[in-house]
Amino acid sequence: MGRILYELGKVDEKERAANERASGKIGKSSFSWAWQMDGTVEERERGITMDIALNSFSTPHRHITILDAPGHRDFVPNMISGASQADCALLVVGASTGEFEAGFDRGGQTREHLVLVRSLGVSQVVVAVNKLDVVEWDQSRYTEIVDALKPFLLQTGFHNSKTKFVPVAAMTGVNLVKRDEPDGAELRKWYKGPTLVDLLDKLEPPARDITSPFRFPISNVFKGSGSAVGVTGRVCAGAVQTGEKLRIVPGDESGIVKMISYEGDNIPWAAAGQTVTLYMTAVDPIHLNVGSVLCPQTSIVPLATTFTARIIVFDIAMPITAGTSVELFHHSQDIPAYVSKLLSTVDRSTGKEVKKSPRVLTKGVSAEVQITLRSAGGTGKVYSAPLETFAANKEMGRVLIRRGGETVAAGK
């Protein structure tokens, strides 16, 4: 991502040189491009992305907001928070020997990330096969990776027509924006297709739900100027304008939108699909939390402590039984819960009930279950989650279920 932003003129030479110098100083010069997105001290010292970094760029026909998500398994919760705001996915896999295999073998992050983004409603994916310069631009290695991923993508629910592959070398910048420079000579011998940015330029923007009531799950909170508090997130539905009074759910507090910021510019209104920062006044910052949802006073998001979900169980080793403790992920929230009842298993293609009250749920099964939220950290206080039915609002009606650091199911 750092290299693409540089190639598209979003990062100037001075900034690039500063990142190169500073990363070289701590012996991590190969990470200089990543520093464009990995801004915290800890991310830079450890050499991994931990949080979601936001950036944007324009191609001839598209304006794209990038949520750079962590790939490391310890930070899957942060990755989910980013993926739940996404329309499309750009999956980066390393072509160097053993690297692709490590991510793609059972339990690998490449697999988990694809399953997660598909479960969160993303249907378009561009796969960038990176580091091909490390394997001397070997065409057979590229073909091997594409052939391994294609059936898995199809099985995960990505349609062939919405899946694109592209060979790149990000360190040297080959085939990101152009490939006519000397470094791309080996690639040009066998690849005549589009560059990565050509593919991003052809992504289909999804239809936006502008007519429904305003919904804004908060993904970040920070202190604004004066008395205002900044909250960042993506508008899931509807529209908002400055001066509007919004309710904060859960809770019965409200605040006023003093200003709306989109990519550094102040705008009078924002609508579904935009990732914006709202500066709120007339509210105590203590009431604005990551995971809270802002909505109009006339149409408040319902809260639930128990709900029924239709889920698909992933490739799990331990079956799910009634009473299983899980973590529920909804947008940027991560809530302790348990599977309180197994209601039925259902046919994946028709949705018809197959078996009532099954004893266990094993891998690959579709089922209807009841989920109940439980109290966090011995406080005794049970949290209620701002949820809507999938029929009312697709983005507010999707959930992911994890257990012991592994994603076990997703549903609506």
- What domain range is 253 assigned to? 216-296
CATH number of the domain that residue 100 is part of: 3.40.50.300
Task: Give the mean pLDDT of the chain.
Answer: 88
**pLDDT at residue 13, as a whole number:** 73
Q: Does the pLDDT value for residue 295 go beyond 60?
A: yes
Mean pLDDT of 397-410: 89
**pLDDT at residue 32, as a whole number:** 54
Based on the domain organization, do 23 and 128 belong to the same domain?
Answer: yes
The model carries a pTM of 0.80
Q: Does residue 33 fall inside a structural domain?
A: yes
Based on the domain organization, do 237 and 182 belong to the same domain?
Answer: no
Residue 131 phi/psi, 5° resolution? 65, 30
Report how far apart, in Å, the C-alpha atoms of 206 and of each of 117, 129, 273, 344, 387 are.
15, 25, 9, 33, 22
Total domain count, the chain: 3
Based on the domain organization, do 289 and 312 belong to the same domain?
Answer: no
**pLDDT at residue 370, as a whole number:** 97
Q: Give the whole-angstrom CA distance, residue 296 versus residue 274.
A: 17
pLDDT digits (tens, 9 = 90+) for 324-352: 999 999 988 889 999 999 999 998 778 88
Mark which of 201, 234, 259 sits at the end of a domain.
201
Residue 105, classified by CB atoms within 10 Å of its CB into exposed (0-12), middle (13-18) or buried (19+), is: exposed
Lowest mean pLDDT among 30-34, 124-128, 132-136, 331-335: 30-34
Mark which of 157, 174, 201 sits at the end of a domain.
201
**pLDDT at residue 75, as a whole number:** 63
**pLDDT at residue 274, as a whole number:** 92
**pLDDT at residue 74, as a whole number:** 65
Based on the domain organization, do 165 and 285 belong to the same domain?
Answer: no
Mark which of 159, 175, 201 sits at the end of a domain.
201
pLDDT digits (tens, 9 = 90+) for 193-217: 999 999 999 999 988 999 999 999 9
Based on the domain organization, do 289 and 399 belong to the same domain?
Answer: no
